[in-house]
Amino acid sequence: MKLIVGLGNVGAQYHSTRHNLGFVVVEMLGISFGHQPGDFKKHSKAPALVLDLRSVQDCQLVKPTTMMNLSGEAVQALVRFYKIEPADVWVVHDDVDLPFGQIRTRLGGGSAGHNGIKSIIAAIGDGFWRMRLGIANPQLPITPTDQFVLDPFAPDEAERVPKLLELATNQLEAALLAGGQLTDHTTKLRE
Protein backbone atom coordinates (compact mmCIF):
# COMPACT_ATOMS: atom_id res chain seq x y z
CA MET A 1 0.00 0.00 0.00
CA LYS A 2 1.12 3.55 -0.75
CA LEU A 3 0.51 6.62 1.37
CA ILE A 4 0.28 9.65 -0.91
CA VAL A 5 0.65 12.68 1.32
CA GLY A 6 -0.12 16.19 0.14
CA LEU A 7 1.44 18.89 2.28
CA GLY A 8 -0.40 22.06 3.16
CA ASN A 9 -1.95 24.05 5.98
CA VAL A 10 -5.53 23.57 7.13
CA GLY A 11 -7.76 26.63 6.96
CA ALA A 12 -9.51 28.71 4.33
CA GLN A 13 -6.89 31.45 4.58
CA TYR A 14 -4.27 29.04 3.19
CA HIS A 15 -6.36 27.45 0.45
CA SER A 16 -4.98 29.30 -2.59
CA THR A 17 -1.41 29.80 -1.34
CA ARG A 18 1.75 28.32 -2.83
CA HIS A 19 2.28 26.20 0.29
CA ASN A 20 -0.95 24.26 -0.27
CA LEU A 21 -0.20 22.74 -3.68
CA GLY A 22 0.24 19.30 -2.10
CA PHE A 23 -3.28 19.35 -0.64
CA VAL A 24 -4.77 20.27 -4.01
CA VAL A 25 -2.87 17.56 -5.89
CA VAL A 26 -4.11 14.77 -3.59
CA GLU A 27 -7.64 16.16 -3.82
CA MET A 28 -7.39 16.12 -7.63
CA LEU A 29 -6.02 12.58 -7.53
CA GLY A 30 -9.05 11.58 -5.49
CA ILE A 31 -11.31 13.22 -8.08
CA SER A 32 -9.59 11.26 -10.86
CA PHE A 33 -10.66 8.09 -9.02
CA GLY A 34 -14.27 9.24 -8.62
CA HIS A 35 -14.19 10.99 -5.23
CA GLN A 36 -14.65 14.54 -4.00
CA PRO A 37 -12.53 16.54 -1.51
CA GLY A 38 -15.38 16.15 1.01
CA ASP A 39 -14.80 12.38 0.95
CA PHE A 40 -11.58 12.72 2.98
CA LYS A 41 -12.32 11.58 6.55
CA LYS A 42 -10.58 12.15 9.85
CA HIS A 43 -8.30 9.23 10.66
CA SER A 44 -8.83 7.64 14.07
CA LYS A 45 -5.11 7.13 14.80
CA ALA A 46 -3.42 10.12 13.14
CA PRO A 47 -3.88 13.89 12.84
CA ALA A 48 -4.88 13.63 9.18
CA LEU A 49 -7.74 13.56 6.72
CA VAL A 50 -7.57 10.38 4.65
CA LEU A 51 -9.26 9.09 1.51
CA ASP A 52 -9.05 5.29 1.51
CA LEU A 53 -8.49 3.98 -2.03
CA ARG A 54 -7.08 0.60 -1.01
CA SER A 55 -9.89 -1.30 -2.71
CA VAL A 56 -9.21 0.30 -6.11
CA GLN A 57 -5.58 1.49 -6.14
CA ASP A 58 -3.95 0.09 -2.98
CA CYS A 59 -3.26 3.55 -1.66
CA GLN A 60 -4.50 6.13 0.78
CA LEU A 61 -4.53 9.84 0.07
CA VAL A 62 -3.52 11.93 3.06
CA LYS A 63 -3.79 15.57 4.12
CA PRO A 64 -2.14 16.13 7.52
CA THR A 65 -4.27 18.31 9.81
CA THR A 66 -1.27 19.58 11.74
CA MET A 67 0.35 22.76 10.54
CA MET A 68 2.91 22.24 7.78
CA ASN A 69 5.89 22.27 10.18
CA LEU A 70 4.47 19.27 12.07
CA SER A 71 3.51 17.09 9.09
CA GLY A 72 5.80 14.32 10.31
CA GLU A 73 3.45 13.61 13.23
CA ALA A 74 0.68 12.51 10.87
CA VAL A 75 2.98 10.61 8.52
CA GLN A 76 4.72 8.76 11.35
CA ALA A 77 1.41 7.73 12.93
CA LEU A 78 0.12 6.39 9.60
CA VAL A 79 3.36 4.56 8.75
CA ARG A 80 3.23 2.84 12.13
CA PHE A 81 -0.49 2.10 11.97
CA TYR A 82 -0.33 0.51 8.50
CA LYS A 83 3.13 -1.00 9.05
CA ILE A 84 4.57 0.29 5.81
CA GLU A 85 8.09 1.25 4.79
CA PRO A 86 9.14 4.86 4.17
CA ALA A 87 9.68 4.02 0.47
CA ASP A 88 5.91 3.45 0.24
CA VAL A 89 5.29 7.07 1.25
CA TRP A 90 4.94 9.61 -1.58
CA VAL A 91 4.96 13.25 -0.44
CA VAL A 92 3.73 16.04 -2.73
CA HIS A 93 4.88 19.54 -1.81
CA ASP A 94 5.84 23.00 -3.03
CA ASP A 95 9.52 23.81 -3.47
CA VAL A 96 11.17 27.24 -3.62
CA ASP A 97 14.39 25.73 -5.02
CA LEU A 98 12.73 24.84 -8.33
CA PRO A 99 11.42 27.33 -10.88
CA PHE A 100 7.68 27.71 -11.19
CA GLY A 101 6.28 24.91 -13.35
CA GLN A 102 9.02 22.35 -12.81
CA ILE A 103 8.22 19.03 -11.12
CA ARG A 104 11.01 16.91 -9.66
CA THR A 105 10.31 13.38 -8.40
CA ARG A 106 12.91 11.36 -6.53
CA LEU A 107 13.47 8.95 -3.69
CA GLY A 108 15.28 10.43 -0.70
CA GLY A 109 17.29 13.61 -0.55
CA GLY A 110 17.48 16.44 1.93
CA SER A 111 14.79 18.84 3.03
CA ALA A 112 16.15 21.90 1.16
CA GLY A 113 14.83 23.97 4.06
CA HIS A 114 11.19 22.86 3.64
CA ASN A 115 9.87 22.57 7.20
CA GLY A 116 7.20 20.00 6.34
CA ILE A 117 9.84 17.75 4.77
CA LYS A 118 12.19 18.33 7.73
CA SER A 119 9.42 17.17 10.04
CA ILE A 120 8.80 14.01 8.00
CA ILE A 121 12.53 13.20 7.83
CA ALA A 122 12.74 13.57 11.62
CA ALA A 123 9.74 11.25 12.01
CA ILE A 124 10.40 8.41 9.53
CA GLY A 125 13.85 9.01 8.06
CA ASP A 126 14.88 10.12 4.60
CA GLY A 127 13.81 7.16 2.45
CA PHE A 128 10.46 8.40 1.12
CA TRP A 129 9.50 9.70 -2.33
CA ARG A 130 9.12 13.42 -2.92
CA MET A 131 7.21 15.09 -5.73
CA ARG A 132 8.46 18.67 -5.60
CA LEU A 133 6.41 21.31 -7.40
CA GLY A 134 8.50 24.36 -8.25
CA ILE A 135 7.14 27.73 -7.13
CA ALA A 136 10.20 30.04 -7.42
CA ASN A 137 9.79 33.28 -9.33
CA PRO A 138 11.62 36.65 -9.52
CA GLN A 139 9.84 37.89 -6.35
CA LEU A 140 11.38 35.16 -4.18
CA PRO A 141 14.79 36.84 -3.65
CA ILE A 142 13.13 40.02 -2.38
CA THR A 143 10.41 38.40 -0.27
CA PRO A 144 10.98 36.52 3.01
CA THR A 145 10.50 32.82 2.23
CA ASP A 146 7.92 32.28 4.99
CA GLN A 147 5.81 35.07 3.48
CA PHE A 148 6.40 33.99 -0.14
CA VAL A 149 5.06 30.45 0.38
CA LEU A 150 1.93 31.76 2.11
CA ASP A 151 1.18 34.32 -0.61
CA PRO A 152 -1.23 33.61 -3.45
CA PHE A 153 0.21 33.08 -6.91
CA ALA A 154 1.04 36.02 -9.13
CA PRO A 155 -1.65 36.60 -11.81
CA ASP A 156 0.46 35.14 -14.66
CA GLU A 157 1.21 32.05 -12.53
CA ALA A 158 -2.40 31.66 -11.38
CA GLU A 159 -3.40 31.13 -15.01
CA ARG A 160 -0.90 28.24 -15.28
CA VAL A 161 -1.43 26.63 -11.86
CA PRO A 162 -4.29 24.37 -13.07
CA LYS A 163 -2.01 22.88 -15.74
CA LEU A 164 0.77 22.35 -13.18
CA LEU A 165 -1.66 20.59 -10.83
CA GLU A 166 -3.01 18.48 -13.70
CA LEU A 167 0.52 17.45 -14.74
CA ALA A 168 1.40 16.38 -11.18
CA THR A 169 -1.89 14.55 -10.73
CA ASN A 170 -1.51 12.72 -14.04
CA GLN A 171 2.00 11.59 -13.11
CA LEU A 172 0.79 10.16 -9.79
CA GLU A 173 -2.20 8.48 -11.41
CA ALA A 174 0.01 6.92 -14.09
CA ALA A 175 2.42 5.63 -11.41
CA LEU A 176 -0.46 4.03 -9.50
CA LEU A 177 -1.94 2.48 -12.62
CA ALA A 178 1.51 1.11 -13.51
CA GLY A 179 1.63 -0.90 -10.30
CA GLY A 180 2.56 1.76 -7.78
CA GLN A 181 6.02 2.64 -9.08
CA LEU A 182 7.35 6.19 -9.18
CA THR A 183 10.51 6.95 -11.12
CA ASP A 184 13.21 9.52 -10.55
CA HIS A 185 12.54 12.23 -13.14
CA THR A 186 12.04 15.92 -13.84
CA THR A 187 9.34 17.47 -15.99
CA LYS A 188 8.46 21.02 -16.84
CA LEU A 189 5.15 22.67 -17.58
CA ARG A 190 5.02 23.69 -21.20
CA GLU A 191 4.71 27.39 -21.89
- pTM more than 0.85: yes
Torsion sign over Cα 135, 140, 143, 144: positive
What is the structure's pLDDT at 190?
81
Q: What is the pLDDT along the chain (191 residues), one digit of tens a residue?
A: 999 999 999 988 998 899 999 999 999 999 999 999 999 999 999 999 999 999 888 999 999 999 999 999 999 999 999 999 999 999 999 999 999 999 999 999 887 789 999 999 999 999 999 999 999 999 999 999 999 999 999 999 999 999 999 999 999 999 999 988 899 999 998 86
| Side chain identity, residue 162 | P
pLDDT at 166: 96
Residue ranges making up the domain that contains 72: 2-188
Selected catalytic residue, list 15, 19, 93, 185: 19
Task: Give how many domains the chain has, as a whole number.
Answer: 1
Based on the residue annotation, tell me whether 15 is a catalytic residue of this protein.
Answer: no
pLDDT value, residue 191: 67
- Report the CATH number that the domain containing residue 130 is assigned in CATH: 3.40.50.1470
Beta bridge partners of residue 95, listed in sequence order? 134
Using alpha carbons, select from 182, 142, 179 the residue that is nearest to residue 57: 179
Closest CA to 66 of 81, 46, 83: 46
